[in-house]
Amino acid sequence: MSVLHVFDMDGTLLLGSTASVELARYLGISEQIAILEKLSSAGELTNIEFHRRSHPLWQGLTADVIDTVFAQSPWIGHLRAVWDDIAARGETAIVISMSPLFFVQRLSRWGAARVYATDSPIGSVFDETLVLEAYHKVEIVERVVADGGFDKDRVVAYGDSHTDIPLFSTGIRSVAVNASAAVEALASLRYRGNDLREAYALARSLIE
Protein backbone atom coordinates (compact mmCIF):
# COMPACT_ATOMS: atom_id res chain seq x y z
CA MET A 1 0.00 0.00 0.00
CA SER A 2 1.22 3.49 -0.84
CA VAL A 3 2.86 5.85 1.63
CA LEU A 4 1.64 9.32 2.59
CA HIS A 5 4.33 11.85 3.51
CA VAL A 6 3.01 14.89 5.39
CA PHE A 7 5.30 17.93 5.44
CA ASP A 8 5.14 21.08 7.50
CA MET A 9 6.65 24.10 5.70
CA ASP A 10 7.78 26.92 8.01
CA GLY A 11 10.88 25.83 9.90
CA THR A 12 10.82 22.37 8.34
CA LEU A 13 11.14 22.83 4.59
CA LEU A 14 11.80 26.55 4.98
CA LEU A 15 14.90 26.57 7.17
CA GLY A 16 14.85 28.88 10.18
CA SER A 17 12.21 31.07 8.62
CA THR A 18 8.59 31.44 7.61
CA ALA A 19 6.77 32.63 4.52
CA SER A 20 5.70 35.79 6.34
CA VAL A 21 9.26 36.56 7.43
CA GLU A 22 10.56 36.16 3.89
CA LEU A 23 7.80 38.27 2.37
CA ALA A 24 8.27 40.95 5.03
CA ARG A 25 12.02 41.05 4.43
CA TYR A 26 11.45 41.71 0.74
CA LEU A 27 8.87 44.42 1.49
CA GLY A 28 11.00 46.09 4.18
CA ILE A 29 8.51 45.48 6.99
CA SER A 30 10.42 42.87 8.96
CA GLU A 31 9.89 44.57 12.33
CA GLN A 32 6.11 44.42 12.00
CA ILE A 33 6.10 40.71 11.21
CA ALA A 34 8.75 39.95 13.84
CA ILE A 35 6.39 41.17 16.55
CA LEU A 36 3.57 38.96 15.28
CA GLU A 37 5.89 35.95 14.90
CA LYS A 38 7.15 36.36 18.47
CA LEU A 39 3.63 36.52 19.89
CA SER A 40 2.57 33.53 17.81
CA SER A 41 5.54 31.40 18.88
CA ALA A 42 4.80 32.22 22.51
CA GLY A 43 1.22 31.06 22.10
CA GLU A 44 -0.09 34.57 22.74
CA LEU A 45 -1.57 35.01 19.27
CA THR A 46 -3.86 32.59 17.46
CA ASN A 47 -3.23 31.95 13.81
CA ILE A 48 -6.52 33.66 13.05
CA GLU A 49 -5.35 36.83 14.74
CA PHE A 50 -1.90 36.56 13.14
CA HIS A 51 -3.46 36.52 9.69
CA ARG A 52 -6.04 39.14 10.53
CA ARG A 53 -3.19 41.53 11.36
CA SER A 54 -0.87 40.51 8.52
CA HIS A 55 -3.48 40.30 5.76
CA PRO A 56 -3.38 44.07 4.99
CA LEU A 57 0.41 43.90 4.62
CA TRP A 58 0.20 41.55 1.64
CA GLN A 59 -2.35 43.42 -0.45
CA GLY A 60 0.25 45.05 -2.70
CA LEU A 61 1.96 41.78 -3.60
CA THR A 62 2.01 40.60 -7.20
CA ALA A 63 2.52 37.10 -8.56
CA ASP A 64 5.98 38.08 -9.78
CA VAL A 65 7.03 39.35 -6.34
CA ILE A 66 5.74 36.22 -4.64
CA ASP A 67 7.62 34.08 -7.18
CA THR A 68 10.80 36.04 -6.48
CA VAL A 69 10.50 35.71 -2.69
CA PHE A 70 9.65 32.03 -3.00
CA ALA A 71 12.69 31.34 -5.18
CA GLN A 72 15.04 33.27 -2.87
CA SER A 73 13.81 31.69 0.36
CA PRO A 74 16.10 29.38 2.40
CA TRP A 75 14.72 25.99 1.44
CA ILE A 76 16.15 22.83 2.96
CA GLY A 77 18.61 21.06 0.69
CA HIS A 78 17.51 18.50 -1.91
CA LEU A 79 13.79 19.08 -1.38
CA ARG A 80 12.86 18.45 -4.99
CA ALA A 81 15.06 15.36 -5.16
CA VAL A 82 13.17 13.85 -2.23
CA TRP A 83 9.79 14.62 -3.73
CA ASP A 84 10.91 13.21 -7.07
CA ASP A 85 11.82 9.97 -5.31
CA ILE A 86 8.48 9.89 -3.48
CA ALA A 87 6.63 10.29 -6.78
CA ALA A 88 8.79 7.68 -8.51
CA ARG A 89 7.78 5.17 -5.84
CA GLY A 90 4.10 5.92 -6.42
CA GLU A 91 3.83 7.58 -3.02
CA THR A 92 2.26 10.91 -2.09
CA ALA A 93 3.74 14.08 -0.59
CA ILE A 94 1.44 16.74 0.83
CA VAL A 95 2.14 19.99 2.66
CA ILE A 96 0.04 21.38 5.51
CA SER A 97 1.02 24.88 6.57
CA MET A 98 -0.38 27.70 8.66
CA SER A 99 1.11 30.18 6.17
CA PRO A 100 -0.66 31.98 3.31
CA LEU A 101 -1.88 29.72 0.55
CA PHE A 102 -0.68 32.15 -2.12
CA PHE A 103 2.89 31.30 -1.04
CA VAL A 104 2.54 27.63 -0.04
CA GLN A 105 0.75 26.61 -3.23
CA ARG A 106 3.96 27.21 -5.18
CA LEU A 107 5.32 24.00 -3.65
CA SER A 108 3.03 22.14 -6.04
CA ARG A 109 5.46 23.18 -8.77
CA TRP A 110 8.19 21.23 -7.00
CA GLY A 111 6.24 18.02 -6.52
CA ALA A 112 3.78 18.37 -3.66
CA ALA A 113 0.69 16.43 -4.68
CA ARG A 114 -1.53 18.68 -2.57
CA VAL A 115 -1.07 21.68 -0.33
CA TYR A 116 -3.27 22.88 2.51
CA ALA A 117 -2.74 26.34 3.93
CA THR A 118 -4.41 29.49 5.22
CA ASP A 119 -6.27 31.32 2.49
CA SER A 120 -5.32 34.93 3.19
CA PRO A 121 -6.28 36.27 -0.23
CA ILE A 122 -4.79 39.19 -2.07
CA GLY A 123 -7.47 41.47 -3.43
CA SER A 124 -10.35 40.35 -1.23
CA VAL A 125 -11.45 40.59 2.38
CA PHE A 126 -10.03 38.53 5.21
CA ASP A 127 -12.16 35.51 6.18
CA GLU A 128 -11.22 33.85 9.45
CA THR A 129 -13.01 30.62 8.46
CA LEU A 130 -10.25 30.07 5.88
CA VAL A 131 -7.45 30.18 8.46
CA LEU A 132 -5.80 26.93 9.54
CA GLU A 133 -4.93 26.28 13.17
CA ALA A 134 -2.65 23.51 14.44
CA TYR A 135 -5.52 21.10 15.18
CA HIS A 136 -6.55 21.24 11.52
CA LYS A 137 -3.44 19.23 10.66
CA VAL A 138 -4.93 16.21 12.41
CA GLU A 139 -8.28 16.65 10.66
CA ILE A 140 -6.67 17.07 7.25
CA VAL A 141 -4.46 14.01 7.62
CA GLU A 142 -7.41 11.92 8.79
CA ARG A 143 -9.44 13.07 5.78
CA VAL A 144 -6.63 12.44 3.28
CA VAL A 145 -6.03 8.98 4.75
CA ALA A 146 -9.72 8.09 4.52
CA ASP A 147 -10.28 9.54 1.06
CA GLY A 148 -7.05 8.16 -0.38
CA GLY A 149 -7.31 4.71 1.15
CA PHE A 150 -3.99 5.02 2.96
CA ASP A 151 -3.01 2.70 5.79
CA LYS A 152 -2.39 4.77 8.94
CA ASP A 153 0.76 2.73 9.52
CA ARG A 154 2.07 3.99 6.17
CA VAL A 155 1.84 7.68 7.02
CA VAL A 156 4.85 9.71 8.16
CA ALA A 157 4.91 13.36 9.22
CA TYR A 158 7.80 15.84 9.17
CA GLY A 159 7.65 18.91 11.43
CA ASP A 160 9.45 21.21 13.81
CA SER A 161 7.29 23.49 15.96
CA HIS A 162 4.25 23.96 18.17
CA THR A 163 1.89 23.73 15.20
CA ASP A 164 3.03 20.13 14.70
CA ILE A 165 2.36 19.04 18.29
CA PRO A 166 -1.31 18.03 17.80
CA LEU A 167 -0.41 15.81 14.82
CA PHE A 168 2.69 14.32 16.43
CA SER A 169 0.68 13.67 19.60
CA THR A 170 -1.57 11.24 17.73
CA GLY A 171 1.30 8.74 17.66
CA ILE A 172 1.77 9.05 13.91
CA ARG A 173 5.15 7.98 12.59
CA SER A 174 7.15 11.17 12.53
CA VAL A 175 10.51 12.83 11.98
CA ALA A 176 11.37 16.01 13.89
CA VAL A 177 13.37 18.23 11.54
CA ASN A 178 15.46 20.91 13.27
CA ALA A 179 12.69 20.89 15.83
CA SER A 180 11.91 22.27 19.25
CA ALA A 181 12.47 20.05 22.28
CA ALA A 182 8.72 19.57 22.67
CA VAL A 183 8.37 18.26 19.13
CA GLU A 184 11.47 16.09 19.37
CA ALA A 185 10.04 14.47 22.51
CA LEU A 186 6.98 13.37 20.53
CA ALA A 187 8.74 12.33 17.34
CA SER A 188 9.64 8.79 16.30
CA LEU A 189 13.04 10.00 15.06
CA ARG A 190 14.96 13.28 15.03
CA TYR A 191 17.08 15.02 12.41
CA ARG A 192 19.17 18.19 12.46
CA GLY A 193 20.81 19.51 9.33
CA ASN A 194 20.24 20.93 5.87
CA ASP A 195 19.69 17.84 3.73
CA LEU A 196 16.13 16.58 3.42
CA ARG A 197 17.43 13.33 1.96
CA GLU A 198 18.78 12.42 5.40
CA ALA A 199 15.48 13.16 7.16
CA TYR A 200 13.71 11.23 4.40
CA ALA A 201 16.00 8.24 4.95
CA LEU A 202 14.94 8.21 8.59
CA ALA A 203 11.31 8.35 7.52
CA ARG A 204 11.79 5.39 5.19
CA SER A 205 13.21 3.38 8.07
CA LEU A 206 9.87 3.84 9.83
CA ILE A 207 7.75 2.49 6.99
CA GLU A 208 9.88 -0.18 5.31
Per-residue pLDDT tens digits for 33-51: 999 988 988 888 899 999 9
Query: What is the C-alpha to C-alpha distance for residues 206 and 52, in angstroms, rounded to an integer?
Result: 39
Cα of 144 vs its chain's centroid, Å: 16
- Please state the φ and ψ torsions of residue 77, each to the nearest 5 degrees: -65, 140
Q: How far is CA 183 from CA 28, 106, 162, in A?
A: 32, 26, 7
**pLDDT the model gives residue 1:** 65
Mean pLDDT, each 10-residue run in order, the chain (208 residues):
94 96 96 91 88 95 98 98 97 97 98 97 94 96 96 96 96 97 98 98 96
